[in-house]
Structure 1
Amino acid sequence: MDKQIRFLTGKAFFMILLVLTMPLFFCTAMQSVTAVQFAGTIREVKIYGEAGIDQVLDETDTGINVEILVADPDVDPNDVLFQSEPMENCIDTTDPNVKKCVAYFQRPLSEDRIIADVSYGTITLGVPYVIDGNAPRFTSFSVTKSVAEGKLVANFAVTDEVKDTGSCAGVSGIEIATDPDFTDIVEQRSYTPADIDDCMLTDSIELPQPSSSGDYTYYARTYDRLLHLQLGQTVSTLYVDVDLPLISDPVLLYQGAESVYVMPGTRDYELKVEIDENYGLHEVLADLTDFGGQADVNGSCTKVSGLFDCRWDVRPTITDTTSSFSGSIKAVDLEGNSQTKTFTIDVQNDNQAPEISSITTDTNDMIGGYETTVMAAVTDAGVGYKEEDILADFTAVNPSLDSRLPADECVDDVCYWYGVTATREGVKTITIFATDLYGQSESRSESITADITKPMITDVTQSTAYPTASDPTPLVFSINATDENGIETAYLDSTEVSTITDPVEGTCDQGMCVFAVADLITSSTVGDVRFVAVDKAGNPSEILSYAIQVFETDIDTVPNEIGLVVGDPSPQKLDRKIATLTPTKVFVPVTFQHQPLVAVRAKTAVCEGLAPFLVQLGGDNPYFVGAELDDSYLVFDILLDEATSKLDRIDFNCSIYSLVARETTVYSNPEIDNITASIELYNIPVGELGDNVMNKLGDIEKSVDKNWWEWIGYAEQLFEGLRKICKLIDVVKNIYTAVEAMKPIVYAASLALEEISGTGQALWDSFLTLECHIRVAKESLWPNDTQYYYTESGYEQAGGTGDFTILDSLTGGKSVAEGEEDIGGFIRRVCAFVMCNQCNRGFGITGVEKFSTMFDDMIKKATSDSKEGMTPTQKLPTETEEEYRQRLRDNPPAEEEAQPPEQEPEEEDDGKGLFGLGILGLAVSDMEGITGAAADEVSDTGQGKIDLNLLKPVGEQFESHFNPRDNWLVALNCLCLPGLIHNAYKYRQMQCIHARCISDSAKAGFSTAPCDIEHKVKECVFWYGALFEFIPGWLLAEQIARTARDIIRELPGRLISAGRDTLCWEFDQQVKAAEGPYMKVEKLEKCSEVASTSGDLLSGRPLWHIACGAIDLAMLIYSWDKFVENYFNFEDIDFDFSMDDQCKDAFDDYHAARDAAAAAAPPAAAEGSSVPAGAGQMNQTGGGAGYAGGGGGATYT
Structure 2
Amino acid sequence: MNKKITAFFMICMIIALPVYSASVFASINNVGIFGEDGLKGYKKGYDFTYVNATVAIDGDDDITPDKQVFFNNIPFNTCRGLPNEYFMCFLGIKKETLESKTYLFNITLKDDSENVVGMYANTFVVDNKGPTIESFTINPKVTRKGNLTVKYSVKDYAYGTSIGSGLSKIIICKNYISNVVKEITINDSSYIDSRELQFKTSDFVSSTGSANVCIAAYDKLNQVSEFRCEKLTVDENVPEIKEDSFKIVDYNGNEIKYLSGKQMKVIISIEVEDESLDKVVADLSELNKDESSYKNKVASCASKNGVSLCTWSNILIKISSPGKVNIKVNAADYIGNTAEESVEINVDETKPKIDKNSFKLTDINGNEINYLTKEPLTAVISIEVEDESLDKVVADLSELNKDEPSYKNKVASCVSKNGVSLCTWSGVVIKLNNSGKVNIKVNAADYIGNTAEESVSYDFKVDNIAPIVKSLKNSNGEYNNINYIGKNNELIAEIEEKDSGFNLKKVWLLVEDEKIQADRCDKNSGNWKCYWKNVKFNAADGSSITIFISPNSEDDAGNNIDVNKGIISEKFNLDIKAPALISNIEIKNLDINRSYIQEDILLGDKLHIKAILSERTSVTASADFSGIGLGSDVSTQCTKNESNWVCEWTTNEIAPKSTNVELKFKFTDLVGNEAEKKVNIKVLGVSDEENPNHWKISSIEKMPLAIDRQTTELINQKTYYHIKLKPASVYENPTILALDLQCDGDMTYIENSELINKNFNDPYIILTLKQESMPNVSLSFNCNLFIISRVGDLIIQNTEEEPVDLTIDFYNMPLGELSQNVKDKIKNAQDSWLVKMEWLDFAEKILHLAEQICRLIQTLGKINEAINDLELLVSPFESTGLVGIIKTTADWTDRMYTDYIKKLEKYCKYVSCETTIWGGWYDEFSSKNTPEIFKEMRFSGGFWPSSPKESIVLSLATGCLPGIIYNLQKRRQVECYYVLCLKKAADEGIPLSVCDEQKSYLECVFIFGEIFQIIPFAGFFKGLASEFETIVSDPLGLIFGGLNFYCELQPTMAGHAICVSAHLVPTLASIVQDIIGFADTDNWWISGDVCEEALKPMPETTEEGINETDGEEQTI
- With the length of structure 1 as denominator, give the TM-score of the two structures: 0.28
Q: Which has the higher helix share?
A: 1
Larger-gyration structure (1/2) = 2
Q: Which has the higher strand share?
A: 2
Higher relative contact order (CA 8 A, sep 6+): 1
